[in-house]
């Protein structure tokens, strides 16, 4: 017998094929969306993104101590301005996924993103765990976040990244109902693809993420938990350069997810600067917002040249 309070996992080995196949097919990667060439004849697309979570991580969990909130405030007070200056120095656009509560706490920051030519996209209301919400609550929070960012900036976001980097049973339907052009939360490929639901194409572009192209797993610190920074920043920079180099050789996409309260520290921002030095040393690079990338990828949806499924798509060679 399991100890008191411990529940056994579902006996999935007892599931009939219809059950396990139904779970797998609910949300799946469809056709890979890669053009023969990127805009302006570029060989590789680079899509930088920043999740401006700020104070919403502790607030989501009901943690209201000044220490925890200050750790998030650093992202708005120090990290985001440094990042904007760095992007301006290189003249490259980025996408900022911002919880609505972060935007309400820092409205001038949200407006600065769009004013400086960057994209502002939805990242939940208060960085909620959408996997724990029922349909009505998840839809309400997503719609409220969308409306809040639209009101603050005068521009309606076209993209979304779920705070949990995951889908509940309702998430995809909510995204389609609210008219999003793309999502950036799933990890089925290195390259953009069309999301398929129950075997049917949805028309929704996925710009995949991955934990290895995210700063938080390497640098997160939680004094009361087990999370501790365990990697030298320059070691992470080398990993990201290798990711870019591989994308360059394949003619694909290099997508990166960063957080102002994580990468925005002085010793870590050096790594991003060195990475941008490496990327911009290549002439045939297209820096794009996630919306621009999704728009280009979306043009492939009606193209027979990209009709093969992602699962057996060959390596792309321009």
The domain ranges of the chain are: 26-35+44-301
Residues β-bridged to residue 195: 29
The Cα 49–Cα 288 span in angstroms is: 10
- Going by pLDDT thresholds of 50, 70 and 90, the confidence category of residue 8 is low
137-166, pLDDT tens digit by residue?
Answer: 999 999 999 999 999 999 999 999 999 899
Q: Report pLDDT for 298.
A: 87
**Cα→Cα distances 103→106, 123, 158, 188, Å:** 5, 10, 16, 30
Confidence bin at 264 (pLDDT 50/70/90): very high
Q: Tell me the pLDDT band of 234, cut-offs 50, 70 and 90.
A: very high
Q: Residue 11: its pLDDT value, please? A: 87
The mean pLDDT value of the chain amounts to 92
Instruction: Write the CB contacts of 216 (distance below 8 Å, at least 6 apart in sequence).
Output: 259, 262
Whole-model pTM above 0.85? yes
Q: Which pLDDT score is estimated for 222?
A: 73
Angle at 229 between CA 236 and CA 98, to 5 degrees: 75
What is the predicted pLDDT for the residue at 51? Answer: 98
- Where do we find the tokens 């995951």? 166
Answer whether residue 69 shows pLDDT above 60. Answer: yes
Predicted confidence (pLDDT) per residue in 175-202, tens digit: 999 999 999 999 999 999 999 999 999 9
Mean pLDDT, residues 282-303 taken together: 92
In CATH, the number for domain 26-35+44-301 is 3.20.20.370
């Amino acid at each position: 017998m399991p100890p008191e309070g411990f529940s056994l996992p579902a006996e999935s080995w007892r599931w009939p094929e219809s059950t396990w196949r139904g779970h797998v097919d609910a949300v799946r990667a469809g056709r890979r969306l890669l053009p023969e060439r990127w805009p302006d004849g570029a060989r590789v697309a680079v899509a930088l993104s920043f999740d401006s979570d700020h104070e919403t991580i502790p607030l989501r969990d009901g943690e209201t101590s000044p220490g925890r909130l200050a750790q998030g405030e650093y992202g708005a007070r120090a990290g985001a301005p440094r990042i904007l200056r760095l992007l301006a120095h290189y003249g490259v656009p980025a996408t900022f996924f911002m919880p609505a509560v972060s935007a309400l706490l820092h409205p001038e920051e949200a407006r600065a993103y769009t004013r400086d030519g960057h994209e502002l996209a939805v990242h939940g209301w208060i960085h909620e765990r959408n996997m724990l919400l029922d349909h009505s609550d998840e839809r309400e929070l997503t719609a409220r976040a969308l409306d809040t960012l639209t009101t603050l900036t005068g521009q309606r976001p076209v993209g979304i990244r779920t705070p949990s980097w995951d889908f509940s049973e309702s998430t995809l339907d909510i995204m389609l109902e609210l008219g999003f052009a793309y999502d950036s939360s799933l990890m089925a490929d290195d390259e953009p693809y069309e999301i398929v639901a129950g075997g049917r194409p949805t028309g929704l572009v996925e710009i995949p993420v991955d934990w290895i192209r995210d700063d938080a797993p390497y640098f997160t610190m939680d004094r009361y938990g087990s999370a501790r920074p365990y990697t030298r920043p320059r070691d992470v920079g080398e990993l990201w350069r290798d990711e870019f180099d591989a994308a360059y050789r394949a003619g694909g996409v290099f997508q990166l997810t960063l957080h102002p309260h994580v990468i925005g520290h002085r010793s870590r921002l050096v790594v991003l600067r060195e990475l941008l030095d490496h990327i911009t040393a290549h002439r045939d690079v297209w820096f794009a917002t996630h919306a621009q990338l999704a728009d280009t990828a979306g043009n492939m949806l009606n193209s027979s040249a990209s009709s093969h499924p992602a699962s057996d798509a060959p390596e792309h060679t321009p």
